[in-house]
Structures are given as structure tokens and as C-alpha cells.
Amino acid sequence: MEYRTGSVGRVLNIRFDHGDDFLKELGTLLKQENIRVAWFQILGALRQADVVIGPEEPVMPPKPVWTSVDEAREAIGTGSVYMDGDEPLIHLHAALGFHGETLTCCVRDNSKVYLILEVILFEITGIDATRPWWEEGGFNRLTFS
């Protein structure tokens, strides 16, 4: 285990509207506001998303199992933001519900909002951390400077 202590900086309350590409627009906002480390929560619904639902086997490096969501799903989730070079990497785990069935996943791409998605984002200051590629593990790993 490794850790650092920081503080909460700005708090952003964000609304994404029907049809918005959540991950793309959040990435744009992070760059615009120069937010380099953050934690966030989502509440609302997604209409479409490419997601990872786990590894094929519990080995390293993992081989992700991908699926696509292509119907309106209630969404609740939590995520983090760390930089990889000049790019903010968004890591979002969410529970997506549809007609009583829930898919728990890592939301990765093509995340279109259905109706509305409310987000509360907490900027974290005083922590020098990034998420560079970790060759041994086969994924981008939280790394402290």
C-alpha cells in the first residue's frame, strides 16, 4: 500500500444532458479547468456505453471482457481522475440498471447520456499523482511522485 494526504479543492456540480458524450465532455471540462486529480460521483442515466465487465481470468495482465450497452439504463457510479502526460484519464465504475437487471462495469467509451446525468466532482489538491501505463500489470496504474 502507498498513500498521500491532500485536500479538497474546488467542487464542481455538473449537469450532462440527453445525447451528451459523458466521458468526452468530462475530459474537455477537466482540461478547461486544469483539474489534474479528482474524485466524482454520477447519478442519472446512460443510453449507450462501451464497458468492461471484468477480466476473462484473474491473471496479470488482465484480458478485459467488453460489452456494449445500447438501451436506457439508470446509472449510479463513482470515479477518479489522474493524468497520463497531458491527458486526464477518467476511471468510472458504475452500476447500470435496466428493467430490474443490473450490470456492474467499468465505463470506457461512447458514453451517451439518456435524459440527464448529474455529477459532483471534487478536485483534490496537494497530491502529486498520475496514472501512467504499468507494463507489468497491463493497465494504467495510480502512481505517486
Question: In 3-state terms, what secondary structure has residue 56?
Answer: coil
In sequence order, the 6+-apart residues with CB closer than 8 A to the CB of 59 are none
Mean pLDDT by 10-residue block, N- to C-terminus, for the chain (145 residues)? 98 98 98 98 98 96 97 98 97 97 98 98 98 95 96
Instruction: For residue 29, report the phi and psi dihedrals to the nearest 5 degrees.
Output: -65, -40
Q: Which of 115, 98, 96 has its CA nearest to residue 19? A: 115
The structure's pTM equals: 0.95
Domains in the chain, please, with CATH? 7-138 (3.30.1330.80)
Alpha-carbon gap, residue 28 to 84, rounded angstroms: 15
The CA-atom distances, in angstroms, between 17 and each of 32, 54, 104, 117 are 19, 28, 22, 7
pLDDT score of 82? 98
pLDDT score of 49? 98
